[in-house]
Chains A and B, each alone.
Chain A
Amino acid sequence: MVAENITLSRPAGAALLRKLVQPLFDTNVFPNAVATQLLQYFRIPIGGVMPIAAAPRKSLADTNMSQAGQLGTPQMFDLFGFNFEYHIHDMTDVADVTTDLTAMYQQSVFTWFFGTNRPWLRLPLSQITKGVSPTGEFATGDITGNSQFIAVHQGPASVEEWYNFTVGQSPIRINTAEPFSAEITWPNGAVTPVAADTRVRVLLKGNLYAAL
């Protein structure tokens, strides 16, 4: 029996959702000349402040998260895998970019959290390929003149390159309001980029169930 001044909460309404091939993505900055040991993802939504002073607020180019660490109601997501993009800021700065790429990948760890900070995947970042990337004449050919181009990427520049997280083709379902995040860490010690601030992006490959 419910007392007169106590009411039951309303049941959540069921929404009609459309299944889309739509990744979730978020961007951080590998900050120039700053000792870095941690980069976090999916914790600052669109409109939020990037973690370095020089960067503007996050736009749709940086993330499509509208809430911190979770999908907003009524959205859901089926996670199939991951890409990690390192955006080279200056393709002629060969020596510095090569140094920074080594710093980025050599001893770093990628961790994917689901639920209350429980890691579901933890492995060297080098296992997470970039996927699509510049390729063609200048991207791969011209290195003999004064201009040297460094269009390099982790793994071949193909849409087929991503870390497949499915088991038996079954994706991981992320429901509305379930917390998730990702981070890159350097457990063996901080690294310091030497070239410039570099944008680094994590993409969750999968199907978004969006409201009609």
Chain B
Amino acid sequence: MALTKERIEARAALRPLKQPLFDTGVVLVAPAVNLNVSFFQAQLGQPITPGGVFKTEADTNLTQGGQIGRPQEFDLYGMQIEVWMPGNVGAFTIGDLGLMYNQSVYEFFFGTQRPWLQTPADRVANGPGIEGTVATANDAVPVNYAFKHNGIGSGAAMYEFTIGKKPIPIGSAENFSARWSFRPAGITLTGASTRVRNFLKGILYAAL
């Protein structure tokens, strides 16, 4: 008889770890017109932008495009968008920061492009950031310091996505992604190309 039964998939023993998922994109400087940045669609080793350098462990911890891979699982508690200045003085302007956050939308997709969250991007906090003197204040002298961030630079600052303290579970082969969309005509940065990271805060269930 040629028919066989499908094998029953083995179940793995998993360890819960307080490990976020993260991915990085780049908002390009002029003359590029940026419409959006996608997250969690291109894994380690893939270009960070079309034709760009390859992603390393500093850029993402996703080993598969759009899913976490067997046997891992994830409990999602919230999101952060981290904007990293490209240099210390002047390269990243407050005008560019305004362009990125003004009229932009953050979306989180789960399953087949089904949006589970659509919110103005400025509702999604940066999370930990440099705080203190020249981190936020110094525009009085001809030096602009770039340590600016959306929201207080605290580890507790994030978009809370739980309901009744319960996280959203993401299974091994379930698709997910996120997108930061700018105004419909796109934006053009005047300072420098800027790295942006999206963190999914939660608990990763990793193989032992």
Contacts and interface: CB of A to CB of B under 8 A. Distances in A.
A187 B131 contact: no
A106 B18 contact: no
Nearest to B199: A127
B81 to A, nearest CB: 12
Nearest to B44: A187
Interface in A142-183: 142-144, 148-157, 161-168
B143 A95 contact: yes
Contacts of A151: 132-133
B171 interface: no
B129 interface: yes
B117 to A, nearest CB: 21
Contact of B22 (A124, A128, A139, A162): A124
Given A102-B88, A121-B18, A152-B131, A187 B155 contact: no
A192 interface: no
B130 A152 contact: yes
Given A144-B140, A150-B134, A154-B153, A167 B56 contact: no
A140 to B, nearest CB: 5
B133 A153 contact: no
A128 B49 CA distance: 27
A133 interface: yes
Interface residues of B, number: 43
Given A98-B88, A152-B130, A157-B132, A120 B17 contact: yes
Interface in B27-68: 53, 56-59, 61
Nearest to A123: B20
Contacts of B16: 167-168
B138 interface: yes
Given A95-B143, A98-B147, A188-B59, A124 B197 contact: yes
A126 interface: yes
B89 interface: yes
B57 A126 contact: no
Interface string B108-141: 0000000000000000000111111111011011
Nearest to A143: B138
Interface string A92-132: 00110011011001111100000000001111101111000
Nearest to B145: A98
Given A95-B143, A141-B133, A167 B203 contact: yes
B57 A122 contact: yes
B132 A121 contact: no
| Residue with the highest number of chain B CB atoms closer than 10 Å, among A105, A121, A124 | A124
A174 B115 CA distance: 41
B82 interface: yes
Nearest to B88: A98
A120 B204 CA distance: 10
B190 interface: no
A109 B58 contact: yes
Given A141-B133, A186-B58, A188-B59, 7 more contacts: A95-B143, A108-B58, A121-B18, A124-B58, A156-B131, A163-B18, A187-B57
16 contacts: A94-B143, A95-B88, A95-B143, A102-B87, A121-B19, A122-B57, A123-B61, A124-B58, A128-B128, A143-B137, A152-B132, A152-B135, A156-B154, A164-B18, A165-B17, A165-B18
